[in-house]
């Protein structure tokens, strides 16, 4: 209690100076320290010197210890250590982040095998079938995406295309390069709207693409009709069967997909020939053109079993 009473006799202004020292200043270069030193004995009295004497302090750190004693006994908390501006040193070795693997990504090797198998199933086995077989492969790939619940990567698409091109090569147009076929493959990929098993038209095109020439419909009025005519007739037959109604719709742009290399105009002309030959009939003619394009409605006239089997 005696020491506290003695400390209470210090002037309030000097206490405030000591508080500022503790909170904001470093001991080595504080103006407040110069102030206290100016108040040393022989220059008007010095409270710090009083503390040094009172506590019996000596040595070069006596004045600093006196100040600390005063602040401790006055109830001021010790000054916080200065935070370092250096980056903390981590002792943990860097590890690449591990992302959760979805169910569809669990076996990428298995997916690659499946892509190659689908490519083999859709490889061309006869001339003039590249577009229809390629279209069927793209629909199968869309079905794979739905199953694994993610988009196929470009590398995976390259696996499917490479296998398909290699196996189809004997039946492809020798005037076209691999890059040309690959460009068609990649450009058509985002345009596929229906996966295998979805969509009436897509399913019909898929089924027609599987038919060998000897199973295409025979046109009674023209038994020697070219394969392009018979394959388009097969598309009409399949649409009629799948729809289960007398009428069905088909645009010439879609009709041209039944035979590789067929243009929209050729599909339009062959459709007219099939009408004349009694294979199909117009229920309602569509509106051709880019702006007012509308699919025509047809009715298939031949028996469903009318083919070369």
Q: How far apart are CA 302 and CA 309, in angstroms?
A: 15
What single DSSP character describes residue 292? S
Q: Which residue has the higher pLDDT, 74 or 282?
A: 282
pLDDT at residue 47, as a whole number: 63
Which runs of consecutive H residues, i.e. helices, occur in the chain?
2-8, 12-24, 31-38, 47-55, 62-73, 108-121, 130-148, 154-168, 178-188, 200-210, 227-243, 252-255, 264-276
User: Two tokens at 246?
Assistant: 């007398």
Average pLDDT of every residue of the chain: 76
pLDDT digits 0-9 by tens, 133-180: 898 899 889 989 988 889 999 999 999 999 999 999 999 999 999 999
- Classified by CATH at the fold level, domain 200-300 comes out as Arc Repressor Mutant, subunit A (1.10.10)
Helices and strands, number each (H, E), in the chain = 13, 3
- Examine the pLDDT at 22 and tell me if it is beyond 80: no
pTM over 0.75? The answer is no
For residues 196-230, one letter each, b for 16 or more C-beta atoms within 10 angstroms of the residue's C-beta and e for the rest, the string is beebebbbbbbbbbebeeeebbbbeebeebeebbb
Residue 282's contacts (CB-CB under 8 Å, 6 or more residues apart) are: 275, 296, 297, 298, 299
The domain ranges of the chain are 2-73, 105-191, 200-300
Distances (CA, A) of 81 to 30, 33, 62: 17, 19, 21
């Amino acid at each position: 209690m005696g020491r506290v009473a003695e400390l209470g006799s210090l002037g309030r202004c000097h206490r405030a100076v000591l508080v500022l020292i503790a909170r904001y200043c470093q001991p080595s270069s504080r103006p407040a320290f110069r102030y206290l030193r100016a108040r040393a004995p022989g220059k008007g009295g010095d409270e710090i010197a009083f503390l040094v004497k009172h506590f019996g302090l000596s040595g070069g750190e006596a004045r600093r210890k006196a100040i600390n004693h005063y602040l401790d006994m006055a109830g001021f908390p010790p000054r916080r250590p200065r935070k370092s501006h250096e980056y903390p040193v981590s002792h943990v070795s860097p590890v690449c982040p591990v992302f959760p693997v979805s169910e569809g990504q669990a076996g990428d090797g298995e997916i690659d095998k499946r892509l190659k198998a689908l490519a083999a199933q859709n490889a061309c086995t006869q001339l003039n079938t590249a577009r229809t077989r390629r279209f069927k492969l793209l629909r199968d790939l869309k079905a794979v995406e739905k199953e694994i619940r993610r988009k196929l990567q470009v590398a995976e698409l390259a696996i499917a295309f490479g296998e398909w091109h290699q196996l189809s090569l004997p039946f492809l147009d020798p005037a076209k390069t691999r890059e040309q076929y690959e460009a068609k493959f990649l450009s058509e990929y985002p345009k596929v709207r229906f996966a295998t098993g979805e969509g009436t038209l897509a399913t019909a095109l898929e089924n027609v693409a599987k038919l060998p020439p000897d199973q295409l419909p025979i046109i009674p009025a023209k038994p020697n009709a070219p394969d392009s005519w018979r394959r388009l007739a097969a598309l009409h037959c399949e649409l009629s069967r799948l729809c289960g109604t007398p009428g069905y719709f088909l645009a010439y742009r879609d009709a041209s997909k039944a035979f590789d290399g067929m243009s929209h105009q050729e599909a339009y002309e062959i459709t007219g020939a099939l009408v004349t030959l009694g294979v199909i009939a117009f229920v309602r003619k569509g509106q051709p053109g880019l702006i007012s394009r509308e699919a025509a409605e047809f009715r298939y006239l031949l028996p469903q079993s009318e083919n070369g089997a």
